[in-house]
């Protein structure tokens, strides 16, 4: 029986949910957290089938996924697939970006899919209503059945990516602001209960709490995990998020998203 490894990155639960659904529908599947493997410097994909499940960030790959792909060793893989969760499918080029990175190993992804769920980017728009989320969940489950059927027999599958040149331009401009992406985060210290969830959900160790409340350290990837996990809605980004809803996939618990605490030597 061929072994499958699915690497995932999930800020608010969608991609972890999809990764778990794929795992549970197939045999001999291991899930691996991309931020954890980056921290542990574990870059060997020891499987014949290797999958990547991640949200689409600013029309492309999350920064931590991009970093991991540049390091991972896929020499043992005979089939590589990728799933991008998103609020709006096709408006981005995550799979083109993956192929550009993997070309250094002489590899390409064999199959790719968008799975529409919910965007957590509430600076732009609020979270959809529950009935809309329910419809997207139903459609996502149908899509995942299709994905499983393809992956089990290692069948190729391609997707259309809309306006690639324009999407790459927007993303390049976003990346140029990397050190400024967390400048408009704020914390209402009257609401903050110093629980530390924001610090321990951050995939890139960008939050410190010298006096209990979060202080951002200027290497944010704008995944918004810290904002959405706050139980008091004390964290905001920019002028619009205070009146908007927070999001976490209903099947995912807050502790499922936390990074393991590092032990001090």
State the CATH number of the domain containing residue 240.
3.30.70.20
- Give me the CATH number covering residue 102: 3.40.50.360
Tokens 């924001």 identify what position?
Answer: 198
Range of the domain at 197: 179-257
Residue 128 within a domain = yes
Does 143 lie in the same domain as 218?
A: no
Does 194 lie in the same domain as 150?
A: no
Cβ partners under 8 Å of residue 263, min gap 6: none
pTM of the model as a whole: 0.96
Last residue of a domain, one of 101, 132, 166: 166
Residue 41 within a domain = yes
Question: Sign (positive/negative) of CA torsion 169, 171, 173, 176?
Answer: negative
Does 187 lie in the same domain as 159?
A: no
Does 114 lie in the same domain as 190?
A: no
Domains held by the chain: number: 2
Beta carbons of 109 and 82 less than 8 angstroms apart: yes
Beta carbons of 17 and 249 less than 8 angstroms apart: yes
Residue 78 within a domain = yes
Does 215 lie in the same domain as 159?
A: no
101-127: burial string, b at 16+ Cβ within 10 Å, e else: bbeeeebebbbbbbbbbbbbbbbeeeb
Which pLDDT does position 160 carry in this prediction? 93
Last residue of a domain, one of 119, 137, 166: 166
Q: Provide the residue-wise pLDDT of the chain in tens; the chain has 265 residues.
A: 689 999 999 999 999 999 999 999 999 999 999 999 999 999 999 999 999 999 999 999 999 999 999 999 999 999 999 999 999 999 899 999 999 999 999 999 999 999 999 999 999 999 999 999 999 999 999 999 999 999 999 999 999 998 888 988 999 999 999 999 999 999 999 999 999 999 999 999 999 999 999 999 999 999 999 999 999 999 999 999 999 999 999 999 999 999 986 544 3
Question: H or E segment at 149?
Answer: helix 130-152
Query: What's the N-to-C CA distance of the chain in angstroms?
Result: 41
Beta carbons of 69 and 61 less than 8 angstroms apart: yes
Beta carbons of 48 and 74 less than 8 angstroms apart: no
């Amino acid at each position: 029986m061929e072994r499958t490894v699915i690497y995932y990155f999930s800020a608010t639960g969608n991609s972890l949910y999809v990764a778990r659904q794929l795992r549970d529908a197939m045999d001999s599947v291991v899930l691996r957290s991309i931020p954890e493997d980056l921290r542990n410097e574990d870059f060997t994909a020891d499987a014949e089938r290797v999958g990547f499940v991640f949200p689409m960030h600013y029309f492309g790959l999350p920064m931590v996924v991009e970093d991991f792909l540049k390091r991972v060793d896929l020499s043992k893989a005979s089939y590589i697939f990728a799933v991008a969760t998103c609020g709006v499918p096709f408006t981005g080029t995550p799979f083109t970006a993956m192929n550009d990175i993997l070309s250094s190993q002489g590899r390409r992804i064999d199959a790719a899919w968008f799975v529409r769920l919910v965007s957590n980017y509430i600076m732009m728009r609020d979270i959809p209503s529950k009935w809309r989320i329910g419809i997207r969940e139903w459609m996502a489950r149908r899509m995942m059945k299709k994905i499983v059927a393809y992956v089990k027999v290692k069948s190729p599958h391609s997707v259309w990516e809309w306006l690639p040149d324009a999407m790459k331009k927007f993303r390049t401009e976003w990346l140029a602001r990397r050190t400024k992406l967390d400048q408009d985060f704020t914390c209402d210290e009257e609401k903050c209960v110093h629980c530390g969830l924001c610090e321990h959900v951050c995939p890139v160790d960008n939050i410190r709490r010298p006096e209990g409340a979060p202080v951002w350290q200027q290497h944010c990837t704008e995944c918004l995990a810290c904002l959405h996990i706050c139980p008091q809605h004390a964290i905001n980004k920019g002028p619009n998020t205070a009146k908007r809803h927070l999001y976490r996939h209903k099947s995912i618990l807050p502790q499922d998203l936390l990074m393991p605490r590092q032990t001090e030597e």
